[in-house]
Amino acid sequence: MGVLEVLAEVSRYIPAAAKPARRPTLPTRLMWTGLVVLLYLIMSEIPLVGVYGYGQATQATLMSMLLGMNIGTLMTLGIGPIVTAGIVLEVLVGGKLIELDLTKPRDRKIFMGAQRTLALLFALLEAAAYVIGCRFWISAFASSPEVCPPISTAVKIIVVLQLVFATLVLMWFDEMIRNGWGIGSALSLFIVASVVKGLFWQLAGSTKVATPEGQPVYYGWLAHVVSTGDLGVLRRGMPDMVGFLATIAIIMVLIYFQLMRVYIPVTSPRYGSIKTRIPLNFIYVTNIPILFVAIAVSDIKVFEIVIASLLGADNPLVRGMDVLYNYVSPPRGLLAAVADPLRTLTFALAWLALGLLFGFIWVEIAGLSPRQQAENLIKSGMELPGIRKNVKLLERILARYIYPLTVISSLLVTTMAILADVFGAYGTGSGLVLLVGIIYNFYQALVYERTLEMYPTLQRLLGR
């Protein structure tokens, strides 16, 4: 029995959310979806028992928005352990380091079970590192930032258990939504909630923070304008008008790209050789590559915190990870990007390379490859005009469309995220790309479910 089989076997003993005996109505599913998101937001504000007076950072960061983290609360780890487990397994499967065919029910079940167990193991590791490194208590109680106050072992264990349980609750939420209680993906909706929360905080946050020049200013752009009368065209490290305009422009461009399609002409011999066209999304890889890139970069900081907690902040490995994170993390606005061009260039090149890599990995493991599309085309009774039914031949023809689309769409969404970060767009560049993509996909899922409710015959045809 391999490692994945062992992890999948362990997941059988982890409680899971059950499927509804009867599919709820659309209003009921919307209610459950909204309730799950609301509970997530509430959990992100509930402080951990045993952690008192932790001084949280008020600024919205890449980690806090994309991983849903709020240190010192039940969402200290956010969705990080869950998505990290998914990324690790998907990269291993996509790179053929683990032989699994995710189109087969058995292999898919092993993959999902292993992901659940691995997510809890990551949560346990990260929670233990936070506690061992005394990250929750140094800033609150210690007279020196290097000294950890005496905290009982029982309190530390309680904190670790809270964080692991919070990760398990998020897994239940996601399973509930996926199993039919709601619509879409709970983890995606958590990302939307975090990005929107960060976006509005950058727009209207009224808390004063210290700038690099030592002058206290309002963090939110509107609060700054109202209090000072200054439009705040450019504010180093702070939300400004350039970022506000960039946010609007990026959202509009992303919506336009989401609506673009590339059409492939096909015929159906079953229905008198009727001619039609199959639409492929211009953003063929959706928003997955930028999600993987942003989470991979955020995980560098997470693991830096974990290793620093175990080995100390002066460890060479920790310092190296800090330098790496600095050069691959987004600059905070136009002034910061211009002030350090080397970092900006390194960040842009690293994100473009990673975006392209993750784009190809996603196409292969998500059933979007030319071969899988050719097989789907033949199974549906469709064929390309003048091309005989042969999987390998169809695969070569479709590859002329799919691989260029993969390259273009991967580079395009990554470039939009880079430009948004360089111009200081609110919600971060990757956050805006994910926000538009997730909301659009949710809208499509909502329209689909509404259509099925309006026409019950379609449900029977689809076996629902």
Which SS3 state, helix, strand or coil, does residue 210 take?
A: strand
Residue in 183, 132, 181 with CA at minimum distance from that of residue 157: 132
Distances (CA, A) of 17 to 102, 118, 151, 174, 251: 22, 18, 35, 9, 35
How do beta strands 216-218 and 208-210 pair?
Answer: antiparallel
Cα–Cα dist 27/243, whole Å: 37
pTM: 0.83
* Phi–psi pair at 103, nearest 5 degrees: -80, -15
Cα–Cα dist 394/149, whole Å: 66
Cα–Cα dist 281/290, whole Å: 16
* Phi–psi pair at 237, nearest 5 degrees: 75, -5
pLDDT recorded at residue 142: 42
Digits of tens for pLDDT over the chain (464 positions)?
A: 577 788 888 888 888 888 888 888 888 999 999 999 999 999 988 888 888 655 444 455 666 777 788 888 898 888 889 988 887 887 777 666 777 776 677 777 888 888 899 999 999 988 888 888 777 776 544 444 455 677 788 888 999 999 999 999 999 999 999 888 888 889 889 989 988 988 888 888 887 877 666 677 888 888 888 888 888 888 887 888 999 999 999 999 999 988 888 777 766 555 555 566 777 788 888 888 888 888 888 778 777 877 876 777 778 888 888 888 888 888 888 888 888 899 999 999 999 999 998 888 888 777 778 887 777 777 766 666 666 666 777 777 778 888 888 899 899 999 999 999 999 899 888 889 889 989 988 988 888 888 877 766 656 655 55
What are the structural domains of the chain?
1-17+24-183 (1.10.3370.10), 240-463 (1.10.3370.10)
pLDDT recorded at residue 120: 93
Contacts of residue 257, Cβ cutoff 8 Å, sequence gap at least 6: 282, 283, 412, 416
pLDDT recorded at residue 65: 75
Cα–Cα dist 128/163, whole Å: 9
